[in-house]
Amino acid sequence: MLRQPERYGWLPLLVVAITVAAGSIVLLGLSMLEDHLLNRSGRNLQWAAMEMAEKLDLVLFERYGDIQILADTLPEAGGEQEGAQWTQHLGKVQKAYPVYGWIGLLDKTGRVVAATDSGAVGKDAGGMGLAGQIEGKSAVTVHDARSHDLLEEHKTVGFSVPVTVPPQSRRFSPFHGTLVTHIKLSDLDAIVTRTLQEITTKTDVHQRLEYQVLNRHGQVIVESLHQQEGSLDLVALGVQSARLVTAGQTGFVMENHARRPVQVLTGYAPMPDRKELQELGWGVLVRADSKAILAPIHSTVRTVTMWGMGIFLPLWLFLLWTMGRLRSEWRRTEVGKHASEEAQHLLQSILDNALDAHILMDHEGLVVGWNLKAEAIFGWPSEEVVGKPLEELIIPPEDREALRRDLMKFPSTGKGLLLDKRFETEGRHREGRPFPIELSSISVKTSRGNLFSVFIRDITERKLAEAEEVRLWTILNASLNEIYMFRPDTLRFTYVNLGALSNIGYTMEAMQAMTPLDIKPEMTEASFRELVKPLLTGEREKLVFQTVHRRKNESLYPVEVQLQVVGQGQNQTFLALIYDITARLEQERRQSTEHAIAKILLDSDSLEEASQKIQETVCRTLGWKVGVLWKVDEQAQVLRCVAEWKVSRTQAETFLEQTRRSAFPCGAGLPGRVWESGNVEWISDVIHDSNFPRAPFAAEAGVHTGFAFPIRLEKKVYAVMEFFASDIREPERKLLDMFGNLAAQLSQFLRRKMAEVAITAAKAIAEQAVGEKAALLATVEAFFIRLTDSGVICEWTSQAEKLFGISLPEAIGRTFSDLPIGWSWETVQETINRVTQTISSVHLDKVRLVTLENTQRFIRLTVSPLCTDASVDVVLMGEDVTERLDLERELVQAQKLESIGQLAAGIAHEINTPTQYVGDNVRFLSDSFADLLAVLDRNRELLASAKTGICPPGLIEACEMEMRRADLDYLTEEIPKAIAQSAEGIARVAKIVRAMKDFAHPDNDEMTHVNLNKAIESTVIVAHNEWKYVADLTTDLAPDLPLVPCLLGQFNQVILNMIVNAAHAVGDVVRGTGQKGAISIVSCLVGECAEIRITDTGTGIPESIRRRVFDPFFTTKEVGKGTGQGLAIARSVVVDKHRGTITVESQVGQGTTFIIRLPLNRSGEMGEMEQAA
Amino acid sequence: MTILIIDDDQALRDSLRRTLRREGYTVLEAAEGEEGLKVVKSHPVDVVLVDLFMPGKEGLETIGELRRSHPGIKIIAMSGGGKKGHMDVLKAAKLMGARRVLAKPFTREELIDTVEQLLVN
């Protein structure tokens, strides 16, 4: 396909265009010419019209002038003859001047008196339309053309002039008549025609001209054609020239003919503007057919055109044809070019795709073409090589000279050593390395000289393959293995290597007639073919099988055959590698024996057991018949038979019997000899051996070869193992080695067994120890966990199991901190870390633990380091102190209850007494009220009677009696007292109850911010009974004392104890004295602590026991009075629980002060406490 | 009939006095043991009501002294321990010689009955 749109397609178009243009130009020229011609003709026509108009005008003017003269020259006549004279005169004139068509003389009335036309005489001119009355008109009057009766069919132009007598003096003369002359238009016509003819001849207007004379209205009065009757009003017809000429214009115009459908050129000219002939105002039209005017041009053009066509058209056609040819030629060239390009591309693709390198070289040795493979092989990209000399690129230096010479010679000789040939040589890669190439070059003669097309193949691989093949054949031949190749169809051998030939014993020629079956006694052809079928079908790539080969000398040997098929299709051939596996089989047998032995040794528990099995194995696999084991009897210094074995069908019973009974001392018999020498002993035939006591029995059993080897333990011979065969065998290196190994293995076995026994014993002891330790630890209530220095659990007692719910196997080996234990790992881990760092123990008094059953327990934990040689282990020992804490709490509670109990009596008394008297008082008041009421009643009676004035006599008395009975004085005094005392009593009870409520706090473990003063006051009230008899208790409690974090219940307990102690101390002093001591309680803020001082004026505490007062169970009171727990508890509470201090100052005989300090800031976590031990 | 009240609580003495006087008894008072003993020495007293919880001469001691000095005297011991509390103390009082024991708070009836019972015997 052409790639570009048609080239030069525009060429014909161009030609056509040029033609068209030329034609246009010509046409343009022609039209211009036409115009010119027309113009010229027009002008001519116009001129003609003008001439004609002038002529007309002249003629008419002459007539105009004539008539005057005529008028003037009228003979004077008179009478009747006047008319005839005049007629005669007129006739003469007419004869002289034939132009006059009619002349006539009219009288005043307008009657014709004389005329050239005799018939007209006597007629009324007016009636005839001649002149009308012209009287008065002094000048000549012109009458426009019209027809009139006189001349009948003729149109005339009339002149009339008045005649006067005397005719000479026109001015004043009276009018006599009118002279009228008429000119026949047809005569004018003749003049015009003549004129026209003159003009025509003068100019070279060759065509037929038409003329028309129009009157001032545009009516045709004279025309050349004489075609129509009647007048033609051209103006009314719209003829342009008529219009123009009647307008008084001169010119020429192209217009359509009025009557004929043609274009005409009309020249027009009016009669010159003459005053005298104004009346007429005629115009002249001269026309000619345009066609006629242009006819010459047209004819010329036609002629030229014809000639031109005749010449130009063929030329033009020829031109087109040429162009067509040209284009098709060009197209063909294009196609050809494209085809050639395509061919080029195809060639290039082929070359690029070629498996060989292709180089095109010119006669100068420069590279012209270079394909892709060349790039690949030689490493030069084509851009870089084109134009370069080939020799420098790919020819090794040594060959370049040869090429150059060849190139020089070739043009002349057409031959060369290198050129136009095919051979193997060396090429050079861009990188400089040479490689073998096969080269084929031919020369191609071209216009530019010889081109050499060179195909080059990199035969490196081929060379290598060839070398490889050679090597392979060499190897095959040199191989010690037997290698056979045979055909798949006939099975005949095609190749047998040297190794095979030497082993099998046949010659190569002989083998070529043989098949594998000939040397395989165990296989038939059918079985063989069956065997090799998978190779032929391609199912298997290789077959390996064992069989037996037969040598030429009939000897057999076991072989392993590796069979393959090589080659394809027709060239398939079998390749067999034969391995003489005799030795291998032996090896295998020995190895399997060794393996079996090793296994037996692993499984056996004793030498005897192992020995039997080993002997069985050895005999079975190696073909021995009898095996015996002798053990050294240290005490008796003999070898005794401890185990034996024989192959089942062997008749060796007596032999074995004898063997069992024998005991060989050192040196005696085969065993003794081995024992003595410590080496292997081999007897080829024991029957004939000198030192073989069992020889006769051996002969009976058919035993010939015997050998034995020692089994050592700790360098001494421990046992001897014997083997016997039923044939004669010679010692074989490999066999002896094997038995040497066996001996060594048995020694090892013995050693191992000994060690195992020792280990077992040791293990038993160790286990016992471990068990004891575990049992020991199990008895202890505390749990015991041991961690390695990396935090891995290595010991975990049953208590730990129970407490944490994690069993021993689960715990052992795990990282301690990974365990799911519900305690504060932060604290525990931190403690562990501290322990390992500081190498000192740490106690944790109370560690809260949430067990796996979701119960809360408290643990007392001690973490200690345990230094081993390598590392520091960590030991965690601890116990569940939940119960103990509970007990403690209960004890505390009991203590509290006890103290309360102690106080109970007093408190009860304090409450009950008021209760008592309030109740009694109420009764009293009730009774008293009743009494009072009785008194009142009597008094009311009295009053009532007093009011009436009548007083019953007994009334006053009764009244007085009642009053006495009531003991009014008594009541007056007692009732108020009773009321007051009752109120006070109730108040007292309320106070005590409140104090009790404050005091008896529910026990909890949470520190709260406590108003110590209030607590003290409550406790004071509660203890009131204890001190009220013995002392005056004063308090001085600092009002600005802040709230102190405190366990309220326990604090109250402490204060209570202190108050009770103080009361007792004071009581001891004041007892019997009737006096009271003093107790004071002071609270104040000292530094960061709240201080409470309880001072009493008691007996004081002697120096010696001052320190012991806080000891548990220490008391100075008698039995039954106090348990001695008070101060101990106080210390525990203040110091342990509140991290405060409690101290005592005392002086015997003066008194004692206890000072309690409680810290204001919180210290210690809730429920847990630390104490560096 | 004369009854001596030995109790350190004034209000109690007054209320008991009011109760007993109403019943027609002559009532003498003492605030504590020593004083009580003096009164007994100087006046004929039939019944003594002794409060066990007293300063100075303790209730029990007083009872003992009374019994020693006036063997015929009838002693009623009063304790403050409620009806059920401190029975041991009351037992001790009886051991010391108190004929009867009244545990505060006791009713008027209980008091009158106890006194009358003693006087009858």
**How many whole angstroms separate alpha carbon A526 and alpha carbon A6?**
80
Residues B15, A906: C-beta atoms closer than 8 Å: no
Q: Testing the interface with B: which of A916, A927, A969, A1028 to mutate, by most B Cβ within 10 A?
A: A916
| Preceding peptide of A261 cis, ω within 30° | no
Instruction: Determine the distance in angstroms separating the CA of B4 from the nearest CA of chain A, rounded to an integer.
Output: 16
Query: Which among A914, A920, A1029 has CB closest to B18?
Result: A920
Testing the interface with B: which of A907, A912, A928, A986 to mutate, by most B Cβ within 10 A? A912
**CA-based torsion, A489, A493, A494, A497: positive or negative:** positive
Distance from C-alpha of A77 to C-alpha of A165, rounded to nearest angstrom: 11
**B23 inside 8 A of chain A by CB:** no
Question: Measured between CB atoms, which of A910, A912, A984 is closest to B11?
Answer: A984
Three-state secondary structure readout of A306-369: HHHHHHHHHHHHHHHHHHHHHHHHHHHHHHHHHHHHHHHHHHHHHHHHCCCEEEEEECCCEEEE
Whether chain A has a CB inside 8 Å of the CB on B53: the answer is yes
Q: Do A904 and B103 touch (CB under 8 A)?
A: no
* pLDDT of B16 above 70: yes
Angle at A186 between CA A185 and CA A192, to 5 degrees: 85
The radius of gyration of chain A from alpha carbons, rounded to an integer in Å, stands at 87
Chain-chain contact of B82 with A1028 (C-beta, under 8 angstroms)? no
Residue reference for tokens 């024996």: A593
C-alpha A991, offset from chain centre? 85
- Closest residue in B to A904 (Cα) is B81
CA distance A692 to A710: 17
Q: What is the nearest CA distance from A907 to chain B, expressed in angstroms?
A: 8
* Tokens at A1115, concatenated: 């008391």
B7, pLDDT greater than 60:
yes
CB-CB: which of B14, B16, B105 is closest to A915? B105
Which residues lie closer than 8 Å to A659 by C-beta, 6 or more apart? A628, A641, A644, A694, A697
**In angstroms, what CA-CA distances link A193 with A62, A277, A622?**
19, 21, 170
Whether A1072 sits inside 8 A of B56 (CB atoms) is yes
Residue A198, SS3 per DSSP: helix
CA–CA separation, A257 vs A195, rounded Å? 23
Who among B8, B22, B85 is closest to A908 (CB)? B85
Of B8, B103, B108, the CB nearest to A920: B108
Nearest-Cα distance to chain A for B79, in Å, is: 7
Residue A160 pLDDT: 74
- To the question of pTM greater than 0.80 for the whole model, the response is no
Which residues are bridge partners to A806 per DSSP? Answer: none
Does B26 reach chain A within 8 Å, measured CB to CB?
no
- For A637-652, give the secondary structure using H, E and C: CEEEEEEEEECCCCCC
Instruction: Please count the residues of chain A.
Output: 1173
- Indicate yes or no: CB of B86 within 8 angstroms of CB of A1028: no
Min distance B73 CA to chain A CA atoms (Å):
24
Tokens of B14: 């007054």
- DSSP conformation letters of A369-436: EE-HHHHHHH---HHHHTTSBHHHHHS-HHHHHHHHHHHHHHHHHS--SSTT-EEEEEEE-TTS-EEE
From the number of C-beta atoms within 10 Å of its C-beta (0-12, 13-18, 19+), residue A973 rates as exposed
Interface test with B, best of A917, A984, A1070 (most B CBs within 10 A): A917
Please give, rounded to a whole number of angstroms, the shortest distance from the CA of A955 to a CA of chain B: 25
Is the Cβ–Cβ distance between A664 and A671 less than 8 Å? yes
Q: Among residues 719-738 of chain A, which lie with CB inside 8 Å of chain B?
A: none
CB A573 within 8 A of CB A592: no
pLDDT of A63 reads 77
CA distance A426 to A409: 22
Are B14 and A985 inside 8 Å of each other by CB? no
Contacts of B16 in chain A (CB under 8 A): 917, 920
Q: Give the gap in angstroms from C-alpha B49 to the nearest C-alpha of chain A.
A: 14
For chain A, say whether B89 makes contact (Cβ under 8 Å). yes
Which positions ≥6 away from A45 have C-beta within 8 Å? A205, A209, A252, A265, A266, A267, A286, A287, A288
Q: Do B15 and A924 touch (CB under 8 A)?
A: yes
Alpha helices per DSSP H over A623-732 = 653-661, 669-677, 695-701
Question: Residue written as tokens 């209530």?
Answer: A781
- CB contact (8 A) between residue A906 and residue B18: no
Q: Which of residues 783-842 of A touch B (CB under 8 A)?
A: none
Which residue is closest to B104 within chain A, CA to CA?
A: A912
Per-residue confidence (pLDDT) for residue A1164, from 0 to 100 = 41
Partner-chain residue, chosen from B14, B53, B54, that has the shortest CB–CB distance to A977: B14
Residue B8: list chain A partners with CB under 8 A: 1029
Provide the β-strand partners of residue A1090: A1085, A1158
Which among A913, A977, A1074 has CB closest to B12?
A913
B80 touches chain A (CB under 8 A): yes
Cα B53 to chain centroid distance, Å, stands at 12
Residues of chain A whose pLDDT is less than 50? 1, 168-170, 172-173, 1164-1173
A913, A920, A921: residue with CB nearest B80: A913
Asked if the Cβ–Cβ distance from B14 to A919 is below 8 Å, we say no
Q: Does B34 touch chain A (CB under 8 A)?
A: yes
Q: Does B90 touch chain A (CB under 8 A)?
A: no
Give me the residue from B15, B53, B81 closest to A917, CB to CB: B15
A876 three-state secondary structure: strand
B16 to chain A, any CB pair closer than 8 A? The answer is: yes
d(CA B8, CA B54): 6
From CA A900, how far away is CA A905, in angstroms rounded?
Answer: 9
- Distance between CA A576 and CA A532 in Å, rounded? 11
Angle at A878 between CA A872 and CA A884, to 5 degrees: 165
Q: Give percent of chain A with pLDDT exceeding 90.
A: 6
Under an 8 A CB cutoff, do A917 and B54 touch?
no
Residues of A in contact with B55 (CB under 8 A): 1028-1030
Does B4 contact chain A (CB < 8 Å)? Answer: no
Contact, A1085 vs A927, CB < 8 A?
no
Return the H-helix or E-strand segment holding A878: strand A872-880
Distance between B119 CA and the closest CA of chain A, angstroms: 22
